[in-house]
Amino acid sequence: MNRKKTFKSYLFVTLLFLVVCVQSFAQSSPEPVGWVSINTPFTASQLKNVDQQLEQLKSESIQTIIFEFSGSGKNFERYSQLGRKITTLNRDDITTVAYIPESALGLTMIPVFACQQIMADEFAQIGMVLPLKDDQKVSSQVVLNKVVSFAEAAGHDPLIAKAMTDKKMVLYQVDQDGGVKLIDKKSYEIWQDKIKSVFASNDSAPIVSENETLLLNGLQAKKVGLVRQLFANKNECLEKLNYQVAGGKTDQASKEPNAVLASDGIPDGDGVEKVVFEDGQVHKVAVIICKDMVDEGMYISIKRRTEQAISEGATYIIYEIDTFGGALNSAISIWDYFMHDVSKRAHTVAYVPTKAISAGALISVACNDIIMKESTQIGDCAPIIMGGKLEGVEREKAESPTRSYFEAAAKANGYPVALCRAMVTLNIAVYKIKNLQTDRYEYFEDDQLPKDDGTYDLEGKTIVVKSDQLLTWDAEKAVEHGLARSVVNSRDEAIAFLAKRDQITFDDNIVVYETTWSEEMVRWLTSPTVAGILLTVGLLGIYAELNSPGLGIPGAIAVIAFAALFGSKYMINLANWWEILLFIIGFLLLTVEIFLIPGFGIAGFSGIVLIFFSLIAMMVANPSDQLPIPQEQWDWNILQDNFNSLLLSIVGFIIGASIISRYMYKIPMANKMVLNAPGQSESVGVTMTPVVEDEPVEVSLNEEGVSLTQLRPAGRAKFGEKKCDVVSRGEMIEQNMPVRVIEIEGNRIVVAPK
């Protein structure tokens, strides 16, 4: 028995020793964290260095990053970009922590609210985001929206964020169930009786009154739930939380130069990077004209001119958009280019001198700012197809991705999302409702109306877009509701507005980048109407050439038409080299079938198939290593539109071929290619030189004979003992069929079946 007790005691002591060892080991192995210092002034180079350090920490699989904030920030754009970076880290399941040892005031609070946790010294000063100084370029409402959105995304109380930003916000602090609760003035007045019976008010006076913005110390911030833990300094923070700075490096954001700003590639609003400028920089403006139909030619031209402008030092690019719309896929290509490429290198502005309708509206909202001239229009981007209707599921399949592009641009560039969605979908009604806490108007779709009458003036809501209307507004209304920044009278006024708002200086040399004549020519040649005409002309030229001896004017016209058609499509990536090659092979096979191989068989059928396949393949924009299969709904719509044009071209060819077969030699221009008929009598003779006989042969009008070969449409016929070359009116006549001379034009004898 004693042995068993001794064994149990020994076992217990051993287990206890192991537990202590494990705990000691765990405590001796602190968690690696990243530590990034954000100091004021927060310069462009610091922002780039932050980006570099964050990429390094992510590559090391660091799961917690602490941002140390200090000072009163003033640059809205840079702190907003940092807030977006922190939000991206949160999405990647990386814990973000804000540490405030002394103070975080002004715009420094924007990225602070983006962090999931906030720690501070008990005497640290926190808040008072506004008022901004008069030299700030951004409105108070924009700052408020940004602060609140970051706070809500990170799980902080939005009322605190509003109170620190909006001077009209009145906030009360009450006790609830042993804890502290913050409520706004409206809620306090509405529920005052309930508060008296359930809560015990700390003070009848609000903790922040009207015309003030909230400022808390660390201890106060902890009581209201904004700050989670209090630490006197950095070392205490690391020690008590058992953290160790990864690699022993600190303050890299303010010390390491030569970082490169990289895009995170996220397509939503907060994931789009924007360019950052140095303080005091003299900015260069470039103007790029974007007019007429939106197509691939416009996209390629915009891209070329934008790259040229940026390479020549442009920091603000004004896209002068004047269009009724065009191809949706081309507009999306321009949208992607603006949002994920140009916006990281320059500030983009859409200037609307007359109209930005349909695809033009989508391009406009992709720019950082929209400025409109007086009495201009923007809106109406509902997808359509030529010669048909989109209904039911097909319409939703086309509208859904289009709405997503409008939403992403609206979130990134600060346009009302509901209004942008109403440009695309007909059955969306949008209401304007006043936020009683911020004294600002917000926009809601009819199925997303708020229900909190303590926060919103629900009785005073106003409908601004009816459900049976697509949003299309003039400049004045667009500015009133936040779709545009300003209404001006000229491009120069737009530039002056930007300079005043952003408090910057522009170079006096404003360069306007126009399209080149070759770009305009390619866009003209690739328009559906001109492309259809070129195809019809090319087919008619081939037909006329096959019906006349030698290689002449019709053949040359056909070559020019097809070269213009295929060359222009190749330049805008609608035609690949192998598609053009298939067309040439198909044409050669068809020619061989007509002139060399008797009958109509595999060669002719294969030639027709290859020709039609190549023409249809050129209607779909696809890489050369992929089959021309539409990937998106708008690709199918474009294919359908182009196919309709192809059918019209074929109908035009059939009509033209019929006219040529009957009247080619009576057309003033065409009859010069052959000799004129010697007379108009009913018995007109013609002298021919047969292949076999040396003596000339005379054939008369209406003389009857028999075909010696197939006429496709050319061949040989025998009239009595006379043999000569003849041609039909276009139809094929079998061998040994009776024929009759119906027309003699020059040295050409036209026959028809008897």
pLDDT in tens, 539-584: 777 777 666 655 567 777 777 877 777 766 666 555 566 767 777 7
| Nearest-angstrom CA–CA distance, 539 and 728 | 19
Computed over every residue of the chain, the mean pLDDT equals 76
Position 404 scores a pLDDT of 84
Average the pLDDT over each of 114-118, 157-161, 192-196, 538-542 and give the range with the smallest value. Answer: 192-196
What's the mean pLDDT in 302-325? 91
What contacts 212, CB < 8 A, 6 or more positions away?
A: 167
Asked if residues 621 and 573 have their Cβ atoms less than 8 Å apart, the reply is yes
Asked if residues 272 and 266 have their Cβ atoms less than 8 Å apart, the reply is yes
Question: Which run of H or of E encompasses 410?
Answer: helix 392-413
The model's pLDDT over 381-392, given as tens digits with 9 standing for 90+, comes to 877 655 556 566
The number of C-alpha atoms within 13 Å of 681 and in the hemisphere containing its C-beta is: 7
Decide: residue 570, CB within 10 A, 0-12 exposed, 13-18 middle, 19+ buried.
middle
- Whether 712 has a pLDDT exceeding 70, the answer reads yes
Q: Kindly state the greatest CA–CA separation across the chain.
A: 145
| Nearest-angstrom CA–CA distance, 284 and 509 | 8
Position 213 scores a pLDDT of 80
Q: Which strands sit side by side in the sheet containing 369-373, from one edge to the other?
A: 486-488, 369-373, 347-352, 316-322, 285-291, 511-513
- Tell me the helices (H) and strands (E) count for the chain, helix number first: 24, 34
Count of CB atoms situated within 10 Å of the CB of 725: 18
The model's pLDDT over 59-101, given as tens digits with 9 standing for 90+, comes to 888 999 999 998 888 888 889 889 989 998 988 889 999 999 8
DSSP 689-733: --SS-SS-EEE-TT-EEEESS-BSSEEEEEETTEEEEEE-SSS-B
The model's pLDDT over 476-488, given as tens digits with 9 standing for 90+, comes to 999 999 899 999 9
At 475, list the tokens. Answer: 């400049």
| Nearest-angstrom CA–CA distance, 347 and 351 | 13
Report the SS3 class of residue 81.
helix
Asked if residues 613 and 623 have their Cβ atoms less than 8 Å apart, the reply is no
pLDDT-derived band at 132 (thresholds 50, 70, 90) equals: low
Paired strand residues for 698? 687
